[in-house]
Structures are given as structure tokens and as C-alpha cells.
Amino acid sequence: MSRSFGSLKRLRIEGPPPQLQAFTFSLYNKSTYFFSLVFSLSPFPLLKRLFSKTLRLLSSSIHMDSSSSSFFSLSSSSPTFAADEDDDVFTLDSSSHSRSSEPLFLVPLRWWSDANAALYGGGTGGEYKGVLYNVTSSLSNKKLEKDDFLSEVESEIVLDMTRVGETETGEEGVSGRNSGDLSLALISEWMFLRAFKWHNDMKDVGGFLAAADIVQALFSLQIRLSFLCKTNSIIIRINQKDNELRDFDRACSIFCVESGLLEIQDFSGQTNQFFMDDRKLFGDCDQPDEEMILELQVYGVVEARETKREKMMMDQFEIEAPPINGSMKMNGNVDDVLVSRFKQSPPLDGSYGNACALGLTGLYNLGNTCFMNSALQCLVHTTELVDYFLGDFRKDLNFENPLGMNGRLALAFGELLRKLWAPGATPVAPRIFKSVIAGFAPQFGGYSQHDSQEFLAFFLDGLHEDLNRVKCKPYIEVKDGDCHSDDEVADEHWRNHLLRNDSIIVDLCQGQYRSTLVCPVCKKLSITFDPFMYLSLPLPSTSMRKMTLTIFSTDGTTLPLPVTVTVPRDGTLKDLVQALNMACSLRDDETLIIAEVYDNRIIGCLEEPSDKLELIRDQDRLVAYRILKESQRSPLVVFMHEEKSEFTGLLSGKKFGVPLLSRMSNFSEGSEIHKEFLKLLNPFVMPAEESSNDYDCKQNDTNEDAKIESILDEDADRDTEPEPESDFAAGRDFQLYHVDFLYKDPKKIEMDEPVAITMPCKIVNVLVSWPEKMMDNYDTSLLSVLPEVCKPALFSRKPQESVSLYKCLDAFLKEEPLGPEDMWYCPSCKTHRQASKKLDLWRLPEILVIHLKRFSYNRYFKNKLETFVDFPIDDFDLSSCMVHKNNQVSHHYMLYAVSNHHGGMGSGHYTAFVQHGRSRWYEFDDSNVFHISEEQIKASSAYVLFYRRISDTVHNVVQ
């Protein structure tokens, strides 16, 4: 490797002429991927860093278009990129209009032809032309004198490639060779990966194979390439000093064959760059030949027979040859050690390489990136996306789209997918991809926890814009479709959408639904057809839920009363209010204010009737205040309590009790607020103690009737006393302060002074300081007892709630009124109305992504629903949900991936279930991959479901 790096550095500094230099850089750029793979295992991090930086410098130089027939393409808008995993650097050079070239692979022609015929229809399409070369091989040995006593032999394989002509893709035996001849194909990296995956799928490999099994079938050679002007041929030299000894030995067994047996067809288009309309590439053929060092990947090539290989090597060695690795050729025979070294090289499978379970590669967690890993594993196992990005996806890159990232996002994802699907791949750290996605969606730039569905939404949108085949989006005027049928309007909307959006993401993931709005007043009907990327389904429930709230009066007549009501689990605040009205016999002139109490304060009021009850947790504590409707315009006064501190006299005592609430409009004097507070405290007055001796005397009096009347009169007088002391005296004992919500900036409220309140004011917070004797006069324990919404019974296990995915879909499609924040402007009424909305599925995509809305948020609460969703795996039938019946398209889907969320809101973890192969399921937990059974797929952790459309024929077979 040190020699290779030195040669690279020498060429970079000295360099050949400009024409050849362009090709040199292009070929080096092709080997970037494999060099980085080799150096990722290297124990020399400093060398790796230096090498990667050199490659990055070369990658920013002139590049060559691998798909173009012309040698140069030097316009200035299409970018190329280079990546450094160690430094987490991703650079993009937009000064070149050509794409960076890829590594080259040498594979058996039949291996490539079989895959190409199945994937691309062989030569019928004529998309990939092969250039046939007859190859003459030879093995030479040079004696290098080191000093007077020692010398060594430098072995070199020389391949002379003579061009025969172009052939159709996949044609074999053009030159009339026998089937036993060694015919090879030179292909690009994306061609190799697509073909390798196809062969792997055909073998239906279901288990893991070690990386060593792949290495036997795939190895790299460093070759020296030059163009010989005089003979119009390409010369390839494979020098022993440039390669590992084992690789060089294997190269000898492959290329050292009898003359005329070896032919190579180039489908990559690279060797064709040396010929331009039968003209020499270099004008001056007398100049010295310049060599370019290229890394060539050899895969699955069957080695030549041992006897022929040994014979060629023996013929090449001279009797006076010096020792090789300590072995001497003596008495005209090659040392047995040398021959056995070739025989021990691992033979390759006659079927052109061992199969492996491609794609079963994990992603390292970079710090709270499990959400990204889970979503990515689902995407990189979407067969259609895998085939696309293993192919020549770069032809669709959109560098002019201002809504995209100039192709950076698509390139980063394509590079990551290829690493995950590379033969013998090990877990990958997606640092570069993460930095690129952060450029498109900055919220994913740090290491905070995020939502996998939100990541998917941003990423798929960015991927679409980077791959949008529409370079210039036309302006399309929206037409009124009132006079046309739904079919015509929907088709027109979809055509207009495709005129501006055309990518692999649109082809696979986007569908169309019909949205119907109805004005509640004039019944105006509005129908629109909109595209969707995924469906976000609510989690309905048919079960009921018991909730306990405490009812407080605001007129000082009754004590707090706990009330338990039964409401639908998926109901709204409106359902709860109706149940409470009936439970407490609410009068027509009264209303309820429902508030949550925490830390002896009201932290929020539940005011929106459409708020979901699922946002209220069982451990929450709720209070319902009965209040007159006529006072709704007056400010709310909230009385909070604390024990008076005897040491400091400041507001530093212990907070206690449930706040009391009232409405007041008169703040002219502080005494009014004191009186209102005492009125609210009236039900909490402790009863006066009665003397048992007095009662006995009353029982023994001779005039019982008169005494009984006297006792009743005394009791009646006692009952009419509001409290042991007068209102004025009691009001003096309490100290009231006007404070903010956090008890800050207290202003004492004096009895005979006006209260400094800026009007209009909706809420006035008053903190009441309780002296010790007043704590004894009132039953404060009644203020402190506040039950939870739902107190679970001890040692009782709550049964898991289950709901069908079809029920979730029905809840998504049912008609419901818009919220107050989503008012619709009615063109007939000329004002905003709370219209009713109805969604219908009109056109379904090939890949249907379903998001289960487990997480709920509002201004005060956030919650995760652990509802078990029973979703179909083999047959998800949406025929009954389609309003647009198209008999030519199947509405049956099969599950192939699931993004899971484990845990609660504060701390959770994401994993992925993926179907790989035929009915085999695997769990991807960051860098770990496990085989699981199909029974484990359905769980309450399922969050995002990925379905693939299946044809009616497949559906009938499954049935």
C-alpha cells in the first residue's frame, strides 16, 4: 500500500499531459470507494487521513462523464462530490459538469449477461454497448540487481488488449470462441451492485455469510494502464511489487492463459474513451507512453487450470533465478513451495461467486440517531429504491432546483445505500449523510431526540427535489372544475402535479385523495384533489374511560365534591363537559371551567371543545369550577394558599391546597377581594365545640318542652353565625398579595385601598397568607385532598387495548368539523366558517407509507398512546376505501417494513423490522441485526408501516 500511495502522490504532483491527466484523475476517483474500504481496516490512521485528503483533492479536479461517448466534458454546472468518513467532511464541486466516475469491476461475461438480460432485457434495448477486446497475455520476469551478492526478480503480467468492435449488450461468443473460453466483462460499480443483488435474490440467500466468504470471490488489483498509439491497443501491466502476493498469484491464474483464449468486453464505456472516431487520442504518437495506475476489482472469475498455470510459470523462470521468498529453483525445477503457493489459493465457485445476504448491514448510532437509522433501514430495504440507487441514478440528479440541495442529498443517500448493500459490508457510521440532511433540515443537525416520521417527511421531500426530472417547473393556473366530473378534475390535477413533480419518489410514494368541504350555513360544496406522500392515521378506541374530577362551587355554598364520569376513550373535551353537566346537575345559568392543578397552582384551563381526552393522563389532577354564565366577562380571581412564615414574615411559607376561583368586577377596594375570599371559605369553617355538661343539664331539666325549644333556638342562632369572628376581623387576619403566576413581584392588598390592577385583565392571581390560628378555624384538609383522574387498582394489570388498522383508516376518512384554528373561507358567505371536512382515497401509490399518530400534543399536554394496532401483513385490502374504482390497478398491499418506537415521551428508542428475502424478517437495532419470526412483527411499538402493492395474481396466490 505504501508503494501505491507513493505512485499516486507522484502522479498527482508531476502528472501526465492534460488530456491524459483528466483520465488519470477520473480513474483514481473510480477507486475512491474501494481505497476507503481498504483503509477503513488499516491500523495506520495517519496514513488513512493523508490518503483520504489526497483523494479529496483529486476528486475536486477534472472529472469525466462515464456515460458519455466523448472523452471530455468540461462545462460548469453539474457537481461532483468527495467524502472523508474520518473527518466527517462532505464537499461538492460545482465547477465541473460531469459526474465523478465509479470503480471498475472485472467479472465473468456470463454472470453479467444473465443479470443484464433479466434487469434490462439484454441487448434488445440497446442501451449498453459492449466493446470487445482480444487479449494476449504474457508473464515476464526482470532481474533487479541490488548489490554484488543479492538480486531479486520482479514479476509482471502484461495484457495486450486489441479492440475488435462494438457488440450488443449481453452478446457472448462474438468472435466464435468455444463456450470454454474465458470471456470477461468490464463494468461500472453500479452495474456490479445491481447484478450482484439480482444473483443474490435469485439464490434466495437467507442467512449471514462472513466477510471472508466475500473476499474469496472479490479482490482488488492495482494495474498500470497505457495506450499504445502505434498499435492502437491498450496495455495493462500487473506488477508484483504493486500488489499483495496472494492477489498477484490469483491474477496469474486468471490472466496467464494460452493466446487467444481470453477476451474482455467493456460495458463501462471507459476503455472506449481512448478511441475517438477511429482517431488516435494523442496527436503526438512519438511521445513516451504514460502509465496510469488504476484499482481494478475482480469478482467471481474462474481461475485457469493448475497444470497450464504451472507450465507457464516454469517456462518463464530461468535456471539462474534468485530466491523468491526464501525458495530457490534448483536443478531446473521450480521450488515446490512456489507451486504449492498457487495451488493453495482458494478456488472460486464455478457459479461465479459465493452468495451472501446483502443488505443485512446495521447503522451505528451517532448519538440519539436511532430515529434516523430506523427510517433509513425501512427505505434502503424498499426494493424499488434499492434497484434505483444501485443503478445509474446520477442521470436524474437535478442541480438547478432551488428547492433541493443541488443533488447532495441524493448523492449522500445513494452512497450510503451502496455501502449498506456492498458484499461483505460491516456496520456503517452515517456521519456524512447526517451532515447533509442537516443542511436540508437543520433541526436534525444536533444530537437531540427526534421523530422518525418527521424525519421521513423531510427526507423524502428533499430526495424528490434532488431527483426531480423537471428542470424548469411550468406555471399552471388552477381552473374551476365545477362543470366537470370528479374523474376529469382528478386526472387534470394529477397531470398538473406531474408537470412540476416527476421523480422516483413521486412514482413510488405519492398518491391522491379527494378533499370535500361543506359550509355549515349555505351548504357550499368545495372539492379538491391533492397529492399525499403518506397517511397519518389516528388511533380510535371503542372502549370507555372513567375519569374523576373534583367539583368546586364559586358561591360558597357547598364543599368540594369528587365526581366520576364515564367517557369515550377517544372522545373530546366536549364529551367530558356533557358528562359532568349531568353528574352535578348543572343549572342552565351555570357553566364549568375545567383546569389542571399541579404544585398547588392552576397550570392551565381546558377550553377547546375539540381537544382529545387522550391527552389527559391518568395521574393528572383536574378541577371543575361551577360559575355563573352572566359573570363570564368579569376577570377570574384565583386564590392560592400558603402557610404564613413566623420567622421571616415574607412570602416564603409552604404552599398547600387547591386554588379557589371566582369572578369579580369590583376592585375599588381591597376589602372586596377579602370578602370574596371569605365567602369561598365559608363551607370549610370548622364546627364550634359543644359542651357535654350543658347537654346533660338540658336532659335533666323538669320543663323538657321549654328546654328543648331553648336548645333549638340556641342551635339556630349558632348556625346562622358565619364564623367565630366577624368578617372584618377575619379579613384582617388573612394577608392577601397580588402576585404573578410564579408568586413573584408581590403587592400587598390593603383593606381600604384600591387594588392596582391594569384593566382589562382576564386573570388576577392572589396569594393568601394563612396565619396559624386561621389554619385551626378552617378544615384545610378538604382543600388538600385532590384525587387523580384515574387511580389504578393495586396489583391489577390493565388489559392491552387493541384496534384494527381498518378502524384507524375509517377514523381518518370520516367526516368531521374543522377546528377553530382551521376555519375555511366560504366563497359564497364571504367569511370564514367552521366547515365539515371529508377525505376520500382516490389514487394509491406503489409504496404506501402509514403513520400511526401515537404522539399527541397541545399547549399543555403531550402523550404517547400505547394502543396495540392489529395491522395486516400479507393482505391489506383497500378496495372498500376507494371512491375511484379502477379495475386495472390492484388495491391490495403487503407489509415489508415497520419503524418501531419503544418507551415513552421523554426517553425512547427506535428500531426497524424489515422483510428480507422471501418471508424472512429481521430486526435492525442500530448496528445490530437479528432474525425474528413473523409473529413478533405485530406489537404496540409499531409506529410507521411500509406497504408494497401486490398484483391481483399474487393476492390470489396468497389467498
Please check whether residue 263 is in contact with residue 180, taking contact to mean a CB–CB distance below 8 angstroms.
no
* Cis? peptide before 760, omega within 30° of 0: yes
What is the C-alpha separation between 465 and 501, in angstroms, rounded? Answer: 8
At residue 275's C-alpha, the angle toward residues 270 and 279, to 5°, is: 170
Enter the C-alpha cell of residue 209: 455469510
Active site residue 370: yes
What is the C-alpha separation between 305 and 350, in angstroms, rounded? Answer: 13
Please check whether residue 858 is in contact with residue 615, taking contact to mean a CB–CB distance below 8 angstroms.
yes
What is the C-alpha separation between 639 and 641, in angstroms, rounded? Answer: 7
What is the C-alpha separation between 804 and 348, in angstroms, rounded? Answer: 51
Measured in degrees and rounded to the nearest 5, phi and psi for residue 953 equal -65, -45
Q: Which of 97, 497, 902, 909 is catalytic?
A: 909
Measured in degrees and rounded to the nearest 5, phi and psi for residue 99 equal -90, 150
**Residue 471 — left, alpha, or beta (φ > 0 → left; ψ -120 to 50 → alpha)?**
alpha
What residues contact 209, with CB distance under 8 A and at least 6 apart? 354, 355, 356, 357, 424
What is the C-alpha separation between 658 and 551, in angstroms, rounded? Answer: 11
What is the C-alpha separation between 766 and 756, in angstroms, rounded? Answer: 12
What is the C-alpha separation between 420 and 377, in angstroms, rounded? Answer: 9
DSSP annotation of 613 reads G
DSSP for 241-279? GGS-HHHHHHHHHHH---TTSEEEEE-SSSGGGGEETTE
Dmax of the chain from CA atoms? 151
How far is residue 576 CA from its own chain's centroid?
37
Q: Which of 252, 356, 370, 808 is catalytic?
A: 370
Please check whether residue 8 is in contact with residue 291, taking contact to mean a CB–CB distance below 8 angstroms.
no
CA distances from 158 to 177, 187, 254, 257, 318 (A): 22, 21, 12, 12, 18
What is the C-alpha separation between 678 and 733, in angstroms, rounded? Answer: 11
Would you state the torsion angle of the CA atoms of residues 440, 441, 444, 446, taken in this order, to the nearest 10 degrees? 70
Reported as half-sphere exposure (CB side, CA atoms, 13 A), residue 37 has a value of 24
Q: What is the Rg, in whole angstroms, of the alpha carbon atoms belonging to the chain?
A: 41
What is the C-alpha separation between 120 and 169, in angstroms, rounded? Answer: 10
What is the C-alpha separation between 791 and 710, in angstroms, rounded? Answer: 49
CA distances from 627 to 413, 469, 522, 597, 693 (A): 60, 63, 35, 18, 44
Reported as half-sphere exposure (CB side, CA atoms, 13 A), residue 204 has a value of 3
- Which of 916, 910, 941 has the alpha carbon at shortest distance from 930? 916
Residue 87 pairs in a beta bridge with none
What residues contact 450, with CB distance under 8 A and at least 6 apart? 368, 371, 372, 443, 444
What is the C-alpha separation between 429 and 68, in angstroms, rounded? Answer: 33
What is the C-alpha separation between 320 and 329, in angstroms, rounded? Answer: 8
Enter the C-alpha cell of residue 303: 481461475
What residues contact 62, with CB distance under 8 A and at least 6 apart? 21, 22, 25, 26, 74, 96
- 80 membership: H or E segment, kind and range: strand 80-84
What is the C-alpha separation between 837 and 818, in angstroms, rounded? Answer: 7
Active site residue 674: no
Q: Which residues are catalytic?
A: 370, 909
